[in-house]
Amino acid sequence: MKGLPRMRLGALARVGVFVLGSVPAVITFIAGHVTTGLVLFVAGELVAALAALTGSVLNELSTRWRSRITDMLDQRLLTLVFRSGKRYHSYVQDSLRKIEEQGPATTAYYRPDLDEIFVNVALVPKEPHKAQRGLLAVAAAENYRESPRKRSIEDFIDQPDPQVLAILGAPGSGKTTLLRRTGQLVSRQRRKRRRKVPILLLLRDQAEQIQRNPNVTIPELLGPVLEKIEVQQGWVDRRLRAGTCVVLLDGLDEIGRTRNRQMVSDWINTQVSTYHRNDFIVTSRPRGYISAPINVATVLTVKNFSHAQAEKFVRRWYLAIERFGQGDEKGHTAEYRATQSANDLIERLNANPALYDLVVNPLLLAMLVNVHFSRGALPGSRAELYKEICQVMLWRRQVAKNMAIDLRGQRKEAVLSHVGYYMMNKEIRDLDRDTLLDQIEIGLQRFARDVRGQDFLDDVGSNGLLVERENGVFAFAHLTFQEYLAAAYVRNNNLVGTLVQKVDHAWWRETILLYAAEYKADEIVEACLAHDTVTTLSLAIECVDQDSDIAPQLRERVELLLHSIATPELAPERWRLRAGVAVNRYLRDVLRTRNGSRVCANPISSEIYQLFEQDTGYPQPDALYGRGVTAKHAVVGVRGRDALAFANWVNDMLGNQTSYQLVTVDQIRDVSVQNALRKRGETVSVWARNDDAPGQPTLWVPPLLRHPHLVTAETVATAVGADIRGCGPTLIRLLLLQALMEARLLARDLDTEFSRARLYAGSRKRRVDVDHILANARQKVTERTMNYYESLSTSHKTAVLFGLGDALSEVLGVLQAVAVSPAAVRASALDNADRITADLISGLEPYLAYTFAVSGDLADHETADHVMGRALSTVFTKVMDSAMTGSSWSSVFIEHFVETTYVDHDVEVAPDSLVEVTAQARAAVVALRHDTGYDEDDDVETGLTPSTWAQKAVLAIERVAVPAFQREQPLSSELATAVRLAALCLTAEQFPPKETDIRPLLHRIAAGITLLEQRAAGKSQPSEAIILAPG
């Protein structure tokens, strides 16, 4: 029967009813009562039919109501579930909306939302014992180094397989904020996630209940909250068992005693096992986790903020505050005010490396932002800020989190200040465990006998101020905290005499300044003045500069120190002392770069550089002082070797204090340095050290600034034009010398033609007309001579203009005699040419005569090129061929000279390189002269070899130019003209095709002398400056 279908059973039941209904009629029929049996049969069947109908109706009604009740119950359950989830997620998002209260003494009136200011921290897989324990990284550079393995929390959670993560980080590194943000995002993005229900538990709040009942479950711990928001524990339990949760357990380290922390760790392991399909994330400081690890957890450590992350946080925080204050979500006013405030804070931090070191820690950065916002500036003294930081880390934060404190906060600080003072006295940064515990016990004796040294160490060791740098070795998270606490100990125990004895000790400098920033500094300043060293006088000036409490007469004595540098009667040793103080004060302001290095905030000023010149006798830079530039402005026009010499002088002046060196290119490109330069309103190029070639610094030039060593072809051509217009008489004299040389060559050609004619006539067997042949020869030379005569005549007006009209007439007379006079007259004219030559040469400008290597013996040369070089000879010929007259003569000369000497491209040349470039050019020309193309036996020069004139000219250039290049003598305009024109004339000489480097060297000489001349005249503004970096 069990296997029969339901419909078949129903049919059998109906048949059974009809059979039963007919039984009485059958019995009656058998008894012989036919009529009565028939009536009973009809009645029975009617009753059976009615019963069947009633059963069918009831069955149909049952089916319909069962479906309706099922639908109703199902809908009710769905509604209940949906409302629970909605209420829970609403609670999560509302409770995680704001940042956590950290308890700084100075707080803003508005606590921003996480959405407004959150900056994601990077996570790096690392063994627990290697995780950073202090507030700050041990090495400054570590704060900025990018790790190739860093990842976001989103890279680990919501994977196909559930994850168990232990996130370790120093105090204030952002662990709790990261958990809150993770919970917030999981809830918001639940439709896109595998695990969509965040559960956040603060372990410090649950530790007591877990210790009472280790079997308590996560839903049971959430009971009070779930009841408050009307969500059943069963809903959470079902979600956990379904594997749709992300369990966030914050602050394992905040459970004080190790045994209790281990119990909580065991409980976590149990929950991970019970609800193994979910993601679990536990946060802790490294010290707390090592003693109570999670069995299967992947350990990740939180990285410090990078420079970019810190700046992003500051800007987001200020924008949130200003938008709230302005009541304007998107207003430009709020954005403008936020940008101004953020820029101000960033610049202040950049200018104070001791504070800038702190911004890598999110908590300390938040404190700095709060303080800056509340006061409109950072604290007047660093001591005030460090005091607040110490208080927050030692006890204020614990109070804000309702955590138990065994020793009052101020007393914790007092014990630690004793440790700091002990370490300063020992001049150490590290303490072994036993020594540290001994010093803690000494400090505790004044306050509490029921607190053990080890317990105190465990407490302060977990807050990040004091860290175990390696096994059994402890140090303060930053030397600044050690110095501040030592200064506090001096203050609390009236030990200023100790500081007085240490004024000449660099180790104590910051401690002294931190003390003097808050308390009367008369004794310290008096001791500084009495010691009278660069170190102590600089310390006294710094006390004055930071507005320490100092008697007026002492303050006046200190301020007079700097003015005494200008006193003429000051003894040399006293002057050097005062100069050292001034330099030390100027270099005191430093910036922190992105990679953690330090750079002096200001370029070296003209005022400081003049101290260097005065002390060493070093030549001035390639720029005029005082031309619209004050002594406070950056010194410019400094050469690379000057910059190196200045850095060495600074280190010599400051003795054993901080050493300085030129910045690197990476440092000068840093945004902090660029912002500082922009704020000064000065655009400079900067000499940077070159580690590959220590003696050859590299010049860094800003992208939009023209390179200060670039000399354009137009600049050189303009200078050449000025040269030619300025030395017209000299050029006319050289032109006349060329004409005399040409006359000698024409006379020589005429004699050669006559000799050939006679030889030809004598070789013929029959008589020839010798006179006809000689006449033809004379006519040929005469035509050439008269053509030259006529071309030279075109320069008559110019010659007269320069007072050389008579000389021109004499030269024309020589040419005419060569052309038409008999041999005797011609010889007499050539003898007269020697006198004219001597007169012309004696009238040449001395520098030009020397650098052009003009020869006075024209008879010894085969061509005019050998007398004054190929360039001038060629240009003179072109000028005369142009048949120009009067005022156009110089213009034509300039045009042909620039073309002939290849002045058609820009040249970049550093003044420092000019001596070497000149030496290279000289060596190349002389080597070619002696090694190729010159036959000493025949004294014949080939067409592709520099002439004897070229060798003489390049040697002359080196002799007159090098002293000016080395600034051993002033650069006059006459010298600049001579070197420029001579160097350019050499470029037109014939050099072998393979010698392609000679002309560029000569062009660099011409460009370099042009650059120096323009700078000396104030026509070109140099930009090469010096910025130093502490070594």
Q: Is residue 957 within a helix (H) or strand (E), and if so which, with residue range? A: helix 948-965
- Backbone φ and ψ for 546, nearest 5 degrees, come out as -90, 15
Q: C-alpha 805: how far from its chain's center?
A: 67
**Does the pLDDT at position 499 exceed 50?**
yes
Furthest C-alpha separation in the chain? 197
3-state secondary structure 230-272: CCCHHHHHHHHHHCCEEEEEECHHHCCCHHHHHHHHHHHHHHH
Position 5 pLDDT exceeds 70: no
CA 753 – CA 773 distance, rounded (Å)? 9
Residues in the chain: 1031
Please check the confidence at residue 944 and state whether its pLDDT lies above 60.
Answer: no
- Take residue 435 and report the two structure tokens written for it: 């020594």
Q: Please count the CA atoms within 13 angstroms of the CA of 980 that sit on its side-chain side.
A: 30
> Which residues partner with 688 through β-bridges?
698
- Indicate the DSSP class of residue 98: B
* % of the chain residues with pLDDT over 90: 26
What pLDDT digit, counting tens, does each position of 324-335 carry?
A: 876 665 567 788
Q: In what order do the strands lie in the sheet with 473-476?
A: 431-432, 473-476, 466-470
What band does 906 get if pLDDT is binned at 50, 70 and 90? very high
Give per-residue pLDDT as tens, 448-487.
567 777 888 877 776 667 877 667 888 887 778 888 899 9
Residue 939 confidence (pLDDT): 38
899-912 exposure pattern, b = at least 16 Cβ within 10 A, e = fewer:
ebbbbeeebebbbb
Within 10 A of 578 (CB to CB), how many other CB atoms are there? 20
pLDDT band of 797, cuts 50, 70, 90:
low
Instruction: Using the predicted structure, report yes or no on whether residue 688 has a pLDDT greater than 90.
Output: yes
**Average pLDDT for 940-954:** 65
* Contact indicator for 251, 300 with CB cutoff of 8 Å: no
pLDDT of the residue at 142: 45
Residue 138's pLDDT is what?
42
Q: What is the value of pTM for the model shown?
A: 0.69
d(CA 375, CA 355): 16
With beta carbons less than 8 A apart as the criterion, state whether 301 and 169 touch.
Answer: yes
If one compares 698 and 16, the residue with the highest pLDDT of the two is 698
DSSP alpha helix (H) spans, 727-861: 728-763, 770-793, 796-801, 805-820, 823-842, 846-851
The per-residue pLDDT for 122 is 87
User: What is the phi/psi pair of residue 181, to 5°?
Assistant: -65, -40
Q: Which residue has the higher pLDDT, 4 or 360?
A: 360
Instruction: Among 154-168, 499-513, 813-827, name the one with the lowest average pLDDT.
Output: 813-827
Least confident of 1-15, 745-759, 976-990: 1-15
- pLDDT for 103 equals 47
Asked if residues 869 and 988 have their Cβ atoms less than 8 Å apart, the reply is yes
Given a contact cutoff of 8 angstroms between Cβ atoms, the answer to whether 623 and 1015 are in contact is yes
> In this predicted model, what pLDDT tens digit does every residue of 661-685 receive, in sequence order?
999 999 999 888 888 888 788 889 9
- Note whether 21 and 47 are within 8 A (CB): yes
Distance separating alpha carbons of residues 309 and 456, to the nearest angstrom: 34
What's the pLDDT score for residue 79? Answer: 44
pLDDT tens for 411-443 read 888 888 999 999 999 988 889 999 999 998 888
Q: Where are the alpha helices (DSSP H) in 276-432?
A: 286-290, 307-326, 332-350, 353-356, 362-375, 382-391, 397-400, 409-426
Instruction: Specify the DSSP class assigned to residue 969.
Output: S
pLDDT tens for each residue of 67-80? 656 555 544 454 45
Q: Mean pLDDT score of the chain, rounded to an integer?
A: 79
Note the pLDDT of residue 75. 45
Strand order in the sheet with 245-250: 123-125, 298-302, 164-168, 279-284, 245-250, 197-202
Residue 628, pLDDT score: 39
Output 88 or 18, whichever has higher pLDDT.
88
Mean pLDDT of 825-853: 76
| Residue 936 predicted with pLDDT over 50 | no
327: Cα separation from own chain's centroid? 37
| Strand, helix or coil for residue 473 | strand
What pLDDT is recorded for position 684? Answer: 92
pLDDT at 197 over 90: yes
Token reading at 857: 């013996």
C-alpha to C-alpha distance for 737 and 807, rounded to whole angstroms: 10
Q: What is the pLDDT of residues 692-735, one digit of tens each?
A: 888 889 999 999 899 999 999 999 999 999 988 888 787 777 77
Segment holding 661, helix H or strand E: strand 660-662
Give me the pLDDT at residue 908, please.
Answer: 95
| 217 Cβ contact partners less than 8 Å away, ≥ 6 residues apart | 237, 271, 274
Task: Please report which residue ranges of 496-548 form alpha helices under DSSP H.
Answer: 496-501, 509-516, 522-531, 534-545
Cα 804 from chain centroid (whole Å):
64
Residue from 480, 525, 530, 479 nearest 499 by CA: 525
- In contact, 894 and 879? CB cutoff 8 Å: no
* pLDDT greater than 70 at residue 222: yes
pLDDT of 880 higher than 50: yes
Tell me the C-alpha to C-alpha distance, in Å, between residue 1005 and each of 128, 587, 846, 850, 968. 65, 37, 20, 17, 17
Helix (H) or strand (E) holding 224: helix 223-228
Tell me the CB-side half-sphere exposure of residue 354, using CA atoms within 13 A.
Answer: 18
Partner residues linked to 605 by β-bridges: 634
Which of the four pLDDT bands, split at 50, 70 and 90, describes residue 2?
very low
CB 683 within 8 Å of CB 703: no
pLDDT range class, residue 140, cuts 50, 70, 90: very low
Q: Three-state SS for 113?
A: strand
DSSP state of 174: S
Q: What is the pLDDT of residue 341?
A: 87
pLDDT at position 31 is 61
Q: What pLDDT score does 9 carry?
A: 44
786 has pLDDT over 80: no
Please give the residue that has the higher pLDDT: either 376 or 830.
830
Task: Indicate the range of 212-226, 504-518, 668-682, 785-799 predicted with least confidence.
Answer: 785-799
* Residue (of 127, 132, 151, 152) closest to 142 by Cα position: 132
φ/ψ of residue 229, rounded to 5: -100, 10
CA distance 974 to 986: 18
Helix (H) or strand (E) holding 197: strand 197-202
Q: Tell me the pLDDT tens digit for each residue of 856-875.
A: 565 555 555 566 678 877 88
Tokens of 96: 């995680």
Locus of tokens 């042949």? 773
Q: Answer whether 579's CB lies under 8 Å from 652's CB.
A: no
Q: How confident is the model at residue 112 (pLDDT cuts 50, 70, 90)?
A: confident
| pLDDT 10s digits, 143-169 | 444 444 568 889 899 899 999 999 998
- Strands 710-711 and 934-935, sheet pairing: unpaired
Does residue 937 carry a pLDDT above 50?
Answer: no
Residue 571 has a CB neighbour count (10 Å cut-off) of: 9
Coil/strand/helix, residue 199: strand
DSSP string, 540-599: HHHHHHTT-B--HHHHHHHHHHHHGGG-TT--HHHHHHHHHHHHHHHTT-EEE-TTS-EE
Three-state DSSP class for residue 165: strand
- More confidently predicted of 143 and 998: 998
The 10s digit of each residue's pLDDT in 964-981 is: 999 999 999 999 998 999
Identify the sign of the CA torsion 134, 138, 142, 148: negative
**By mean pLDDT, which of 140-144, 925-929, 964-968 is the weakest?**
140-144
pLDDT at 751 over 80: no
Q: How many CB atoms lie within 10 A of CB 437?
A: 17
Q: Which of the given ranges, 124-128, 243-247, 889-893, has the highest pLDDT on average? A: 243-247
Q: Rounded to 5, what percent of the chain is helix, strand, coil?
A: 65, 10, 30
pLDDT at 147: 47
pLDDT in tens, 590-619: 887 877 788 988 899 998 999 999 999 999
Q: Quote the pLDDT of residue 994.
A: 63
The Cα-based distances of 413 to 285, 417, 439, 444, 456 in angstroms read 21, 6, 14, 11, 11
Tens-place pLDDT, residues 546-588: 888 899 998 888 888 777 766 666 778 888 888 888 898 888 8
Whether the per-residue pLDDT at 753 is higher than 80: the answer is no
CA dist 230 to 77, 79, 217, 343, 864, Å?
Answer: 15, 14, 19, 47, 112
Residue 119 has pLDDT above 80, yes or no: yes
- At residue 158, the 3 state secondary structure works out as coil
* For residues 213-225, average pLDDT: 92
Question: For residues 285 and 911, which has the higher predicted lDDT (pLDDT)?
Answer: 911
Higher pLDDT, 791 or 373: 373
pLDDT tens figures, 300-330: 998 888 878 888 989 998 888 888 876 665 5
H, E, C per residue of 266-311: HHHHHHHHHCCCCEEEEEECHHHHHCCCCCCCEEEEECCCCHHHHH
- Among 244, 241, 247, residue whose Cα is nearest residue 222: 247
Amino acid 67: pLDDT: 61
- pLDDT category of residue 1031 using cuts at 50, 70 and 90: confident
pLDDT at 258: 80
